[in-house]
Amino acid sequence: MFSKIEKTEKKSTREARGLLDLLQEDEKKFILNIVENKGEILQSKLSKKFGKVKTFRTLEGLRKRGIVTKEKYGRTNKIKLEEDFKDILCF
């Protein structure tokens, strides 16, 4: 039973690395920030760290590729990892 769990964990780690290898450096930083916040983060928090223009452009690229979703949250937006990517990256 434990060997099955270990194999699943190794597979998830390989999938996560494979996904991150396909992203540009800036996108990796954004994704890692989102993962550190349990799969969701406010856009304003990312903007303070990376700048408004860079944040907007990077998130739009990730959104168009279906990696993140954006929903209104007061005067800002809440950025969430798509469920498929959340399962792979948030372990």
Q: What is the pLDDT of residue 18?
A: 72
Q: Tell me the pTM.
A: 0.78
Position 21 scores a pLDDT of: 79
One-letter amino acid identity for 44? Answer: S
Q: Distance between CA 24 and CA 76 in Å, rounded?
A: 25
Is the pLDDT at 39 greater than 80? The verdict is yes
Taking residue 6's Cβ as centre, other Cβ atoms within 10 Å add up to 10
Express each pLDDT in 40-85 by its tens digit: 999 999 999 999 999 999 999 999 999 999 999 999 999 999 988 8
DSSP string of 18-75?
HHHHTS-HHHHHHHHHHHHTTTEEEHHHHHHHH-HHHHHHHHHHHHHTTSEEEEEETT
Domain with 72, as residue range(s), is 2-89
Residues 6+ apart with CB under 8 A from 14: none
Q: What is the CATH number of the domain that holds 62?
A: 1.10.10.10
Look at the chain and report how many structural domains it folds into.
1
